[in-house]
């Protein structure tokens, strides 16, 4: 039985903030897509969570979405979860690419597999939603349209698997709360239906402007990505600070990655593909 899962990096091809509801949450419309790479989570014999990898120091292993997912799963099945987890933290934290949410989703997939439970069951979706708005989409880790808090999901067809993708982060964490707090409250209209790439190109990320107000370097990343040859779409993901570029082919992506890395050697880059 496979005991390792990838917490696939999440990107928002578009993210429209429509309103803030009375419960304090924001109603959004978004197109989720996923990279083929991400954190690596494995089952371990020892209880708890051990963390390694380049971003291990940024995590508090005692209070992590992986451990919360395990605790929620234990309550769901009515018995303690045996053993624990080891996380190889490859993705930066507070980066808008669903690192913690993707790791929680990976934990749920691992536990479901071990217990013979279908992760598509409504009770698992509900548990995922209780952990965070992005966790249900990360549980599936396939292209989805998300509405409500982002946890009402509809599968999306027509997004090309294997499309070259470049993720860029300035190595500056950006918390979600302050970005939403800086949103100006203006509803700029719905996300288009139909072809996801066309909808994404016609769409926007309403959190880009407030994120840039807090962290101006995001604007610099976007300018660089837009200037690259062969880029099909460049945008900030989620609430930032990670930005992404979709490219027409691997060669264009790799040339862009090399150019950006040479100019900004301290930034984090991940050349990958859409899952």
Task: With residue 200 as reference, give the H or E element that holds it.
Answer: helix 196-202
DSSP string, 52-108: ESTTGGG--TTS-HHHHHHHHHHHHHTSPPPSEEEEE--SPSSSSS-HHHHHHHHHH
Q: Could you give the CA distance from residue 205 to residue 184 in angstroms, rounded to a whole number? A: 13
Is residue 39 annotated as part of the catalytic site, yes or no?
no
Which candidate in 39, 134, 151, 206 is catalytic? 134
Task: With residue 48 as reference, give the H or E element that holds it.
Answer: strand 48-52
CA dist list (Å): 75 to 2, 45, 127, 137: 24, 20, 10, 22
CA 146 to chain centre: 13
Is residue 134 annotated as part of the catalytic site, yes or no?
yes
CA dist list (Å): 31 to 17, 135, 137, 190, 214: 12, 14, 10, 12, 24
Q: Could you give the CA distance from residue 182 to residue 27 in angstroms, rounded to a whole number? A: 15
Which candidate in 10, 37, 89, 206 is catalytic? 10
Residues in the chain: 275
The residues annotated as belonging to the active site are 10, 134
């Amino acid at each position: 039985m496979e005991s390792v899962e990838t917490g696939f990096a999440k990107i928002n091809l578009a993210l429209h903030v429509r309103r803030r509801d009375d419960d304090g949450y924001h109603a959004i419309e978004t197109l989720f897509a996923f990279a083929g790479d991400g954190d690596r989570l494995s089952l371990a014999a020892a209880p708890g969570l051990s963390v390694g990898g380049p971003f291990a120091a940024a995590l508090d292993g005692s209070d992590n979405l992986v451990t919360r997912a395990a605790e929620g799963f234990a309550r769901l099945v009515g018995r303690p979860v045996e053993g624990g987890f080891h996380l190889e933290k490859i993705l930066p934290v507070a980066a808008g690419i669903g690192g913690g949410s993707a790791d929680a989703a990976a934990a749920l997939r691992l536990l479901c597999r071990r217990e013979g439970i279908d992760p598509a069951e409504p009770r698992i979706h509900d548990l995922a939603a209780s952990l965070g708005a992005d966790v249900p989409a990360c549980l599936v880790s396939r292209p989805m349209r998300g509405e409500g808090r982002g946890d009402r999901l509809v599968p999306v067809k027509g997004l090309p698997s294997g499309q070259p993708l470049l993720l860029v982060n300035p190595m500056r964490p950006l918390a979600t709360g302050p970005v939403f707090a800086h949103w100006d409250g203006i509803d700029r209209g719905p996300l288009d239906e139909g072809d996801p790439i066309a909808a994404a190109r016609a769409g926007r990320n309403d959190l880009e402007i407030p994120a840039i107000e807090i962290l101006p370097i995001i604007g610099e990343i976007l300018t660089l990505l837009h200037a690259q040859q062969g880029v099909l779409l460049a945008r900030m993901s989620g609430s930032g600070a990670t930005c992404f570029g979709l490219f027409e082919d691997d060669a264009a992506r790799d040339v862009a990655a090399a150019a950006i890395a040479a100019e900004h050697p301290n930034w984090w880059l991940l050349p990958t593909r859409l899952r």
